[in-house]
């Protein structure tokens, strides 16, 4: 594979207890994760032709508001295109409960891109 692969383990690199949608509403928000961790990694992947792997396992859980803001916000707020996210973003989940959250995150990306 060309470029690099950057791995983000949410529970290790951000928080074991992800919060709600917006930073102003409390710690470890989807907005904070997107702005501070995910978007910079994806911008680097875009420039260098790499991939970003986000490991979802290990967190206590994910509020749907966190997932919508973190992942849907990539399209809505940060201007990423659906096709480029499909090419460079990998959401990894081993446990079934996290696979459900992975699928939900992709549904928010698709919805933000008008592909719901």
What pLDDT sits at residue 44? 96
pLDDT bin (cut points 50, 70, 90) of residue 114 is: very high
Nearest to 23 by CA among 76, 65, 72, 75: 65
pTM of the model: 0.95
What pLDDT sits at residue 1? 43
Distance, CA of 49 to chain centre? 18
Find the domain containing 50 and state its range.
5-112
Angle at 12 between CA 8 and CA 14, to 5 degrees: 70
pLDDT bin (cut points 50, 70, 90) of residue 3 is: confident
pLDDT for 28-57, tens place per residue? 999 999 999 999 999 999 999 999 999 999
pLDDT for 53-86, tens place per residue? 999 999 999 999 999 999 999 999 999 999 999 9
Domains: count for the chain? 1
């Amino acid at each position: 594979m060309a470029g690099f692969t950057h791995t983000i383990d949410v529970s290790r690199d951000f928080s074991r207890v992800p919060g709600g949608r917006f930073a102003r509403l409390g710690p470890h928000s989807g907005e904070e994760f997107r702005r501070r961790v995910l978007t910079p990694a994806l911008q680097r992947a875009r420039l260098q032709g790499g991939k970003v792997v986000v490991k979802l396992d290990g967190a206590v859980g994910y509020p749907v508001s966190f997932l919508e803001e973190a992942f849907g916000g990539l399209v809505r707020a940060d201007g990423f295109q659906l096709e480029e996210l499909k090419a460079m973003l990998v959401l990894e989940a081993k446990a079934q409960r996290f696979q459900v959250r992975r699928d939900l995150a992709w549904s928010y990306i698709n919805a933000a891109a008008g592909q719901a």
